[in-house]
Amino acid sequence: MRETLTPTSKPVHVIEETAPATQTVAHISASEVRETALRAALTLASKQDANGYWVGDLTGDSTLQSDYILLQMWLYPPDEDGVWNPPTMPRVRKAARAILDAQRPDGGWSIYTPGPAEINATVRAYAMLKMTGLSVDDPRMRRARDLILKMGGIQACNSYTKINYSLFDLFPRKYCPTIPPEILIIPGNLLYEMSSWTRTIIVPLSIIQAIGQTRPTPGGMRINELMHPRRKLALHRRDRIGNIFIKADTLFKRWERKSVKKIRGRALQEAERWMLNRLHFSDGLGAIYPSMMYTIIAMDLLGYERDHPDLIQAIDQFDGLMLEQEESLIFQPCKSPLWDTANTIFALGELGAADHARTTEAADWILDREIRRKGDWAAKRPDLTPSGWAFEFANEFYPDMDDTALVLMALLHARASDPERQARVERRAVRWLLGMQSSDGGWAAFDVDNNWEIFNSIPFADHNAMLDPTCPDITGRVLESLCRRGFKPTDSPIARGIDFLLRSQETNGSWFGRWGVNYVYGTFLSIRGLAATGASHAKTAIAHAARWLREVQNADGGWGESCLSYETKRFEPAESTPTQTAWAIMGLIAAGEIYSSAVQQGIRWLRESQRPDGTWDESVTTGTGFPRVFYLHYHLYRNYFPILALGTYAKHFESRTADGARVQ
């Protein structure tokens, strides 16, 4: 297998220019586009931290603020008279204010922008606003309550909302799915057939449920008014396998009542050990919000005193996710420094605007964060040498393939202060990435062959993320990353990755996007991956995908796609965004359509929508956490993706002009 590991490898292949049936428009010159991109690049470069990295805010929806208030109710219960005045009350009030600010005119709360009211977000917001003293007779509360009942009441919520409120006797525990800690001691590594984020959520939850304590609410408040009078409380699934799991849940509950103390004690000890081990070398369990919150509750139930260093660390790491202002408090679901830094270096590098001193600082910072210990992934790849990078500042058990592939591309544009060390790190990372290819030829986020579909029928699987299957967007990025380092379409991993993408293409030419919204994201990365391989048998698929991108372009020249597409399983148009416009442009350029009217109009849209300071505005949600359940707003996407698209355009325009290509 051929492997080139120097940062001077040749750039990605591009399909030869095609002649799409689109209207010809005047071509925008490379100098004009470069001027626009450089203006943005100067602003983005200035955001580099003194330690060498870039990180933007990463926000979700109002459920994070609601759950923060819930956690404060757990840690600081009301006194004997029902009065609730936690030491964190100033922050609680700020969180409540942020929740109210996010309320929609119809009384509900959405999980993406712009999006409709969603039952879980609305129930959580109403409940926590009530607990913080907002009267149920307030017009805002009346509108929310009416809408909740119209949507099916609290019974229509997912398992995690119900479990959260069962901790305060606000929802009957017997109607919540059971997560037994014995899952950690049964043979077969069953836990590792679930996605990494599910593992980090259910292990502390299993401790919480096994201990089974509850906390009072302020003044003994209830939310019975949210119970729909005609809907059942009991667990129910419409499919046969789901009903089997519900019967199993009944057995789990019986086991909880009559369990052998010795077995339950051993299971709890193993769950505690598993949880605490993953707090080391990490910014919290999984370094993500829900796991970190449940870890704090679990440690509290296990008897960790408030001055215990592990509990202090867990709370500090959780509080470190907040973005606090004078009048408001918003929580981030996690932090994204590796992702933002790699995207920034890659964008600036492709533009040719990467400052040597800045990129050296960034490269040194990145190399220091290579993961050298085995994580959960080693359950299926025990002999693979550890490497790779995580998404966050520190998350040693969970390096991911998407970040690793992107970092490897970024390092092509960055020379560390120790080139020999950089070469060693890159070699390890490439080997790790190759070793994490799944049997179907694709790459997932954190694990290999994490695809037991039966798990999606488990009662607590309604967060829609029980599994971490291979996906086109990550596979496309990995293919591009490896081919930029000299791999060929005849190399086995590349050939298998190509076949995966060709098999997973939708009939309309698009690809599903798991980690970005949605088909535009999956399509641009799949095209780039296939184009990078130079595989002749992928040209038809690429052309089909390019045609689809042209067809979904907005009339204003940009591209926009709604999170609703995850619900309907088809492209759903939205207002043009700089992020999604940049993705589409890059997909079309990789497909050889740099001179097409679609690309020219997209470039013009980016230039005309740029702000005077070189940045772009974007309110529409373009990032994906769990499809249909949780979405992300990356606040730097709207800046570095347009730079990458504009830089890609300028580079290829100049290259074709230099090669004598006819420019009309």
**What's the CA gap between 403 and 398, in Å, rounded?**
11
8 Å CB contact between 331 and 69: no
What is the DSSP annotation of 440-477? TS---SS-SSB--GGGGGSGGGTTS-S-B---HHHHHH
Domains 30-58+335-452+462-658 and 61-221+231-331 in one fold: yes
pLDDT in tens, 286-295: 999 999 999 9
Q: Any bridge partners for residue 468, and if so which?
A: 450
pLDDT band at 657 (very low <50, low <70, confident <90, very high): low
Question: What's the average model confidence in pLDDT over 169-182?
Answer: 92
pLDDT at 19 over 60: no
Q: Which one, of 112, 138, 113, lies nearest residue 126 by Cα?
A: 138
**What distance in Å separates the CA atoms of residue 54 and residue 593, rounded to the nearest whole number?**
32
- In this predicted structure, the answer to whether residue 246 has a pLDDT above a threshold of 90 is no
Spatial contact of 391 and 445, defined as CB atoms under 8 Å apart: no
Domain 61-221+231-331 bears CATH identifier 3.40.50.2300: no
Strand pairing category for 322-324 and 329-331: antiparallel
pLDDT at 251: 54
Please indicate whether residue 402 is annotated as part of the active site.
Answer: yes
pLDDT of 664 reads: 31
Kind of pairing between the strands at 630-634 and 329-331: unpaired
CA 479, CA 558: separation in Å to the nearest integer?
27
Contact 640, 343 (CB under 8 A): yes
Residue 385 DSSP symbol: P
- Percent of the chain at pLDDT exceeding 90: 84
Q: What pLDDT, on the 0 to 100 scale, is given for residue 18?
A: 47
Token readout for 206 is 């299993």
Binning pLDDT at 50, 70 and 90, where does residue 7 land? very low
Q: How confident is the model at residue 27 (pLDDT cuts 50, 70, 90)?
A: confident
Contact 485, 3 (CB under 8 A): yes
Q: Check residue 9 and give its pLDDT.
A: 40
The answer to whether the CB of 414 falls within 8 A of the CB of 349 is: yes
- The mean pLDDT value for 296-302 works out to 98
CA dist 143 and 313 (Å) reads 40
Q: How far is it, in rounded angstroms, from Cα 109 to Cα 129?
A: 13
**Nearest to 595, CA basis, from 114, 129, 35, 26:** 26
Residues written for the chain: 664
Mean pLDDT, the chain, as a whole number? 92
Catalytic one of 300, 340, 364, 402: 402
Cis peptide bond prior to 114, omega within 30° of 0: yes
What's residue 453's pLDDT?
A: 83
Q: Quick one: CA dihedral 332, 335, 339, 342, positive or negative? A: positive
Summarised one tens digit per residue, pLDDT across range 139-154 is 999 999 999 999 999 9
Q: Using one digit for the tens of pLDDT, what is the confidence trace for 309-354?
A: 999 999 999 999 999 999 899 999 999 999 999 999 999 999 999 8
Q: Are the CB atoms for 263 and 182 separated by under 8 Å? A: yes
Q: Are 293 and 20 in contact (CB under 8 A)?
A: no
Contact 619, 99 (CB under 8 A): no
Helices 597-609 and 637-658 meet at what angle, rounded to 10? Answer: 130
CA distance 427 to 5: 7
pTM over 0.85: yes
Handedness of CA 372, 375, 378, 380 (dihedral sign): negative
Q: Where are the domains of the chain?
A: 30-58+335-452+462-658, 61-221+231-331
> What whole-number distance in Å separates Cα of residue 132 and Cα of residue 632?
27
Q: What pLDDT digit, counting tens, does each position of 109-141 carry?
A: 999 999 999 999 999 999 999 999 999 999 999
CATH entry, 30-58+335-452+462-658, from 3.40.190.10, 2.130.10.10, 1.50.10.20, 3.90.650.10:
1.50.10.20
Owner of token pair 């230099």? 658
* Proportion of the chain in helix, strand, coil states, percent, rounded to 5: 55, 5, 45
CA atoms within 13 A on the CB side of 73: 28
Rg (CA), the chain: 25
Which residues does residue 322 pair with via DSSP β-bridges, in sequence order? 331
Structure tokens at 656: 């074709």
- Model confidence at 5, in pLDDT bands (50, 70, 90)? very low
Q: What confidence tens digit (pLDDT) does each residue in 598-641 have?
A: 999 999 999 999 999 999 999 999 999 999 999 999 999 999 99
